[in-house]
């Protein structure tokens, strides 16, 4: 009896053991299934995180690219004769790769916000053609701290052409009047810098947030808030602030396009920032540039309270190996009516750069040669202070900005002088104005 009971108990134990093994196996399989699913989820999350990080790296790479080359025309696909950058959206963007990850980065210059760029960066694992994970980031960059001096003749008071002046390929802009002494001379060519003064979507487009009315052509023109001498009317398009915007006789020049109550097709404005705030910021940036160049080269780029005398050259030499980035800056602690103007007497056609005069006047007379920009500045603005005068056969190729009156003779023209904000050292640093992940 006892033996039979022992056998039965042994059998039950074996059955329980087998049952326990089966249960443990089933539970183990279930646990392994859960673990496998968790691992796959973790792997997928990791892939997504790597793709996101690659997309963010692409945004940083785009910022570095814009810091090196922010020429708007290379990212907008509309300018005839300008080859778009490989980073441009129109070219399909730049493909980057690193450690089994990749990113496609596309840059587009935004319109009408001048100086603004939209970047789309798509991060992929392992690549965007056969990705198992993909993340997309959009960032908007805007250039900050650059120099925005308008590359044109811009007077915050009056502009006057003298005698037999022959002006080519550059417009005249004034907050005051534009005059002409005598009937000889010429005014011709296209506006090399501002084209049609507005966004047009063609090769003559000039995107900017200040003027929304495109001109019918890109001819060099005259735009003034005051009067414009009749001499110009047979030679160039003329836009005057004295024109009525309710008649069909012409288009009115206005100080602020958005604030003006004139109909859109009856008004035109300056295609650049005319504020003193922006000008003062530019002057500060140019001063710093001159001081940095002086520290680097030893040449006297920044000249404080320099001695000047009537009919005497203030300077006739220029830094060796000059480029359009070169700055020579004259500054006086205050304006004096008895102080003679800074008198440029250079005759070498290789002299290039920017001349700035603060709290003084500037004069260029006789057969002088210079390529670049000349800026005179006083604050507050006064017609007789911070003036620019080119007399005789002065040969200035480039542009002039002045807070005082501008008087021009000789043969001024745009030539091939670039705008300052098109040069890498003056175009500013790209700052991030927005950043977001795109879920699409």
Each residue's pLDDT, cut to its tens digit, for the chain (440 residues) gives: 545 545 556 666 776 666 666 566 556 555 555 545 555 555 566 888 999 999 999 999 999 999 888 877 788 776 656 788 999 999 999 999 988 889 999 999 875 445 689 999 999 998 887 777 889 999 999 888 788 899 999 999 999 998 788 889 999 999 999 999 988 889 999 999 999 999 887 889 888 889 999 999 999 999 999 999 999 999 999 999 999 998 777 899 999 999 999 999 999 999 999 999 999 999 999 999 999 999 999 999 999 999 998 888 888 889 999 999 999 999 999 999 999 999 998 888 889 999 999 999 999 887 888 999 999 999 999 999 999 998 766 678 999 999 999 999 888 888 889 888 888 788 888 889 999 999 86
pTM (two decimals): 0.76
161: β partners: 180, 408
Q: Domain spans of the chain?
A: 2-147+428-438, 153-422
Q: Which two tokens stand for residue 411?
A: 């043969």
Helical (H) or strand (E) element with 240: strand 238-240
| Distance from C-alpha of 139 to C-alpha of 433, rounded to nearest angstrom | 8
Q: Enter the tokens of residue 170.
A: 């550059």
Tell me whether residue 30 is exposed, middle or buried, using C-beta atoms within 10 angstroms of its C-beta: 0 to 12, 13 to 18, 19 or more: exposed
Element (H or E) spanning 363, and its range?
strand 362-365
């Amino acid at each position: 009896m006892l033996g039979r009971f022992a056998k039965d108990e042994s059998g039950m134990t074996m059955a329980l053991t087998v049952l326990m093994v089966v249960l443990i196996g089933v539970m183990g399989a279930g646990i392994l299934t859960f673990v496998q699913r968790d691992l796959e989820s973790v792997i997928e999350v990791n892939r997504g995180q790597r793709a996101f990080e690659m997309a963010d790296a692409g945004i940083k790479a785009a910022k570095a690219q814009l810091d090196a080359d922010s020429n708007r025309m290379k990212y907008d696909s509309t300018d005839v004769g300008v080859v778009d950058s490989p980073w441009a959206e129109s070219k399909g963007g730049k493909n980057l790769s690193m450690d089994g990850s990749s990113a496609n980065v596309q840059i587009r210059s935004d319109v009408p916000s001048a100086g603004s760029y939209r970047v789309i960066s798509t991060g992929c694992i392992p690549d965007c053609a056969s990705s198992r994970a993909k993340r997309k980031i959009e960032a908007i960059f805007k250039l900050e701290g650059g120099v925005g001096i308008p590359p044109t003749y811009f007077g915050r008071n009056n502009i006057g052409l003298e005698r037999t002046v022959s002006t080519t390929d550059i417009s005249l802009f004034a907050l005051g009047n534009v005059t002409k002494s005598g009937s000889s001379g010429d005014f011709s060519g296209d506006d090399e810098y501002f084209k049609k003064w507005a966004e047009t979507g063609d090769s003559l487009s000039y995107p900017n947030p200040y003027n929304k009315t495109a001109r019918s052509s890109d001819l060099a023109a005259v735009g003034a808030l005051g009067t414009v001498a009749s001499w110009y009317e047979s030679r160039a398009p003329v836009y005057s602030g004295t024109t009525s915007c309710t008649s069909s006789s012409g288009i009115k020049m206005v100080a602020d396009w958005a604030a003006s109550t004139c109909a859109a097709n009856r008004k035109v404005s300056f295609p650049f920032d005319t504020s003193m705030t922006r000008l003062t910021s530019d002057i500060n940036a140019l001063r710093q540039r001159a001081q940095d160049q002086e520290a680097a080269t030893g040449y006297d780029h920044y000249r404080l309270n320099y001695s000047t005398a009537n009919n005497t050259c203030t300077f006739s030499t220029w830094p060796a190996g000059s480029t359009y980035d070169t700055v020579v800056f004259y500054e006086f602690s205050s304006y004096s009516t008895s102080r003679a103007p800074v008198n440029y007497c250079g005759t070498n056609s290789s002299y290039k750069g920017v001349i700035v005069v603060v709290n003084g006047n500037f004069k260029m007379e006789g057969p002088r040669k210079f390529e670049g920009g000349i800026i005179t500045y006083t604050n507050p603005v006064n017609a007789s202070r911070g003036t620019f005068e080119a007399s005789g056969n002065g040969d200035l190729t480039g542009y002039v900005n002045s807070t005082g009156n501008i008087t021009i003779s000789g043969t001024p023209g745009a030539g091939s002088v670039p705008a300052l904000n098109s040069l890498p050292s003056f175009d500013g640093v790209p700052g991030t104005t927005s950043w977001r992940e795109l879920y699409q």
